[in-house]
C-alpha cells in the first residue's frame, strides 16, 4: 500500500475509533508508519486527510448499501438484507458517528460527505419503498419518504442503543421492529 493509502486508511480507522477531535496527526502517522514530512507532502493537513478518509468511508457505505438495494427480492426483502448485513454494531456507524463530532459538523467540507451520504441513503430507501408500493408489494398508503427516514432513524438509533448496552441485542431488536412494521404494510 502506498503512503497516501496508508495515511487514508489509518485516518479512517482512527476517525471511527476516536472521532475527529481524538485523531491527532501523530496518531495517524504512527498507525500509517509514515513520517510527518510524508503526511504533509501528500495532504495539506489533518482536515484534508480527514476529508479523503470520510469521503472514502462514505463511498464504501453507499456501495455496500447499493449491493443490497439493487439485489433480488421484494422491496422489504432488499431492505431487510441491508439492515441485517454484517456490520460492527458496537463500533457504531462509521459515518453516523461523525455527526457527534462538533468539529466535523462545524466544517462544511468535512460535513458534506456525511450529509450527502445520509441524503443518498434516504433517497435510495425511499426509491426501493416506492418501487415496492408501485409493484403492489406494499400498501398504497405507505409514504416512501417518511418511511425511509424512519428506517434510517431506527438504524442509527439501534447503533446507539447497542453501544450504550454493550450488546448487539438492542440493535437486532430495533431492526426486527422496523421490519415488523414494514411487514404490516405489505399488500394483502
Domains and their CATH numbers in the chain: 54-183 (1.10.357.10)
pLDDT in tens, 53-98: 999 999 999 999 999 999 999 999 999 999 999 999 999 999 999 9
The Cα–Cα gap between 49 and 136 comes to: 46
Grid cell locating 12: 479512517
CA 94 to chain centre: 6
> What Rg do the C-alpha atoms of the chain give, in angstroms?
19
DSSP letter, residue 172: H
Rounded mean pLDDT of 111-132? 98
- Predicted pLDDT at 123: 98
Model confidence band, residue 1 (pLDDT cutoffs 50, 70, 90): confident
Helix (H, G, I), strand (E, B) or coil at 150: helix
Model confidence band, residue 187 (pLDDT cutoffs 50, 70, 90): confident
Average pLDDT of the residues of the chain:
95
pLDDT in tens, 9-31: 999 999 988 989 999 999 999 99
Which residues, listed in sequence order, are joined to residue 138 by a DSSP beta bridge? 186
- State yes or no: pLDDT of 173 exceeds 80: yes
- Predicted pLDDT at 188: 66
pLDDT in tens, 134-164: 999 999 999 999 999 999 999 999 999 999 9
Amino acid at each position: 500500500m502506498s503512503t497516501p493509502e496508508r495515511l487514508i486508511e489509518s485516518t479512517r480507522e482512527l476517525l471511527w475509533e476516536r472521532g475527529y477531535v481524538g485523531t491527532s496527526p501523530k496518531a495517524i502517522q504512527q498507525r500509517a508508519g509514515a513520517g510527518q514530512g510524508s503526511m504533509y507532502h501528500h495532504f495539506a493537513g489533518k482536515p484534508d486527510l480527514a476529508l479523503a478518509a470520510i469521503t472514502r468511508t462514505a463511498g464504501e457505505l453507499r456501495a455496500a448499501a447499493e449491493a443490497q438495494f439493487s439485489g433480488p427480492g421484494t422491496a422489504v426483502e432488499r431492505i431487510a438484507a441491508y439492515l441485517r448485513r454484517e456490520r460492527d454494531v458496537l463500533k457504531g456507524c462509521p459515518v453516523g458517528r461523525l455527526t457527534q463530532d462538533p468539529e466535523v459538523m462545524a466544517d462544511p467540507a468535512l460535513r458534506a460527505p456525511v450529509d450527502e451520504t445520509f441524503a443518498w441513503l434516504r433517497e435510495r430507501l425511499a426509491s426501493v419503498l416506492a418501487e415496492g408500493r408501485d409493484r403492489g408489494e406494499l400498501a398504497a398508503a405507505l409514504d416512501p419518504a417518511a418511511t425511509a427516514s424512519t428506517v434510517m432513524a431506527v438504524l442509527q438509533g439501534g447503533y446507539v442503543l447497542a453501544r450504550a448496552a454493550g450488546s448487539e441485542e438492542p440493535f437486532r431488536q430495533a431492526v426486527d421492529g422496523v421490519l415488523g412494521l414494514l411487514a404490516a404494510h405489505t399488500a394483502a
